[in-house]
Amino acid sequence: MLWLDPHLSRGALDANAITAGLSNPGAKEIGRVFGLLGMTSVFSSIELSDGADPEKRVNELVGIRNAIAHGGRPSVMDQQVDEYVSSVDAVGEGLERAAAAQVRAICRTAGLPWS
């Protein structure tokens, strides 16, 4: 496993190579990061409770965040907030499952360093 490799020189892994441009990531940027692990279509197995497209929902949430951050006042009802929270949970859990499966396959291990 890479993170246990005694031959890896200290400081050789730089998160900036991966996180550059991720200060406000939409679905495209998230897909790019997962693509670095050889993953494609990372949103395809994610199902949202309201049946919405997870990629579109991520971009919708980013748009709402941007509007708020720049002084806008988007109209969001309580039910939408509940659905957005549910969406964030589902997307996060789905991406974590997909990444875990990919890392396990790459490292040929049953366990994960974040488990």
Query: Which residue range forms the structural domain that includes residue 8?
Result: 2-107
Unique residue bearing structure tokens 């996060």: 92
The first and second tokens of residue 63, run together, are 């748009």
The first and second tokens of residue 73, run together, are 């006042």
pLDDT at 111: 77
**Domain for residue 60, yes or no?**
yes
pTM > 0.85: no
pLDDT digits (tens, 9 = 90+) for 81-105: 999 999 999 999 999 999 988 888 8
**Domain for residue 112, yes or no?**
no
Report the number of distinct structural domains present in the chain.
1
Report the distance separating Cα 63 and Cα 107, nearest Å: 36
Residue 62: is its pLDDT beyond 60?
Answer: yes
**Domain for residue 74, yes or no?**
yes
Q: Are 76 and 64 within 8 A, CB to CB?
A: yes
Give 17-21 contacts, CB < 8 A, sequence gap 24+: none
pLDDT digits (tens, 9 = 90+) for 4-44: 666 656 666 677 878 887 888 999 999 999 998 899 999 99
pLDDT at 56: 97
